[in-house]
Amino acid sequence: MFYALNKTKAFVSGDIGCYTLSYMKPLSGMDSCICMGASIGIAHGMSKALGPKGKGKVVGVIGDSTFIHSGITTLLNTAYNRSDAVFIIADNRTTAMTGMQEHPATGFTLQGEKTKELDFAALGKVLGIDSVEVIDPLNFKDTTRVLKQELQKEGPSLIISRAPCVLLMSKKAVQAKQFFTDPDKCIGCKVCLSCGCPAISWRDFEKTGMPARPERKKQKGIAVIDATLCTGCTLCAQLCRQEAIMREGE
């Protein structure tokens, strides 16, 4: 999602959570982070201060747990005071940064008992946000399409970007899905490295002593995937135009 956000060139007001790390390169997907719960209010204030000049240029991102803690009242304010920004709830189905605690939108209490599950989309509508979308942030094309679409709309929009934290995946599910790069197909364009996945690294021909490609004289190296870190999210494969990233047997 932050990779796609960076491509929109919008100003992204962020919040407190593991996703705050997206301010760093190569994602560079967040421009400010003031304090817990500030993202929506800051984005709303920017949209008001910029007026028509800010149209399509302001986004506020907040995590699911942080939103419940201190984002609901500010989202209500954006509807009440007719903000013109896009607000995103990064819904990873847990409170990841502080140790994977349940929260009111996971459907379980802290004791692990089944309970009522807060519906972010329904809540957004009730608060007065007319345009509410739910996306899978691991679908790059769709995420980009919805971001562009909502940035163009009048008034506040809410996007619920929903994908469970990778730490919630079972070991078996992770092991069944790992990707690798085909060194013969890789042209060394580094596009896959720009998605910021720690499983992907660069092998420089000169530094590693790997044989260079006589047929591709400008190529300096190849991308490689560490199978022990890959969760099989498919994002890098969606970005590689050479179809050099694949799974075993595909």
234: contact with ligand SF4 by CB under 6 A: yes
Kindly state the number of chain residues that form the binding site for ligand SF4, as judged by CB under 6 A. Answer: 27
For ligand SF4, the binding residues in 88-127 under the rule CB under 6 A are none
> Quick one: which of 168, 191, 203, 246 contacts ligand SF4 (CB under 6 A)?
191
195: contact with ligand SF4 by CB under 6 A: yes
4: contact with ligand SF4 by CB under 6 A: no
186: contact with ligand SF4 by CB under 6 A: yes
3-state secondary structure of 2: helix
* Region from 80-88, 96-104, 118-126, 236-244 binding ligand SF4, contact rule CB under 6 A: 236-244
> Quick one: which of 192, 204, 228, 249 contacts ligand SF4 (CB under 6 A)?
192
**Shortest distance, position 157 Cβ to ligand SF4, whole Å:** 27
- What is the rounded (10 degree) CA torsion for 213, 214, 217, 219? 0
Cα 63–Cα 66–Cα 67 angle in degrees, nearest 5: 80
For ligand SF4, the binding residues in 160-179 under the rule CB under 6 A are 179
Tell me which DSSP letter residue 123 carries.
Answer: H
> Quick one: which of 33, 132, 135, 235 contacts ligand SF4 (CB under 6 A)?
235
For ligand SF4, the binding residues in 196-225 under the rule CB under 6 A are 197, 199-200, 223, 225
Q: Are 39 and 69 in contact (CB under 8 A)?
A: no
Please list, residue by residue across 123-152, b when 16 or more beta carbons sit within 10 angstroms of its beta carbon and e when fewer do: bbeebebebbbebebbbbeebbebbeebbe
Tell me which DSSP letter residue 107 carries.
Answer: T
- 15 to 1, 29, 63, 190, 234: CA distances (angstroms): 15, 12, 7, 29, 26
**Shortest distance, position 242 Cβ to ligand SF4, whole Å:** 4
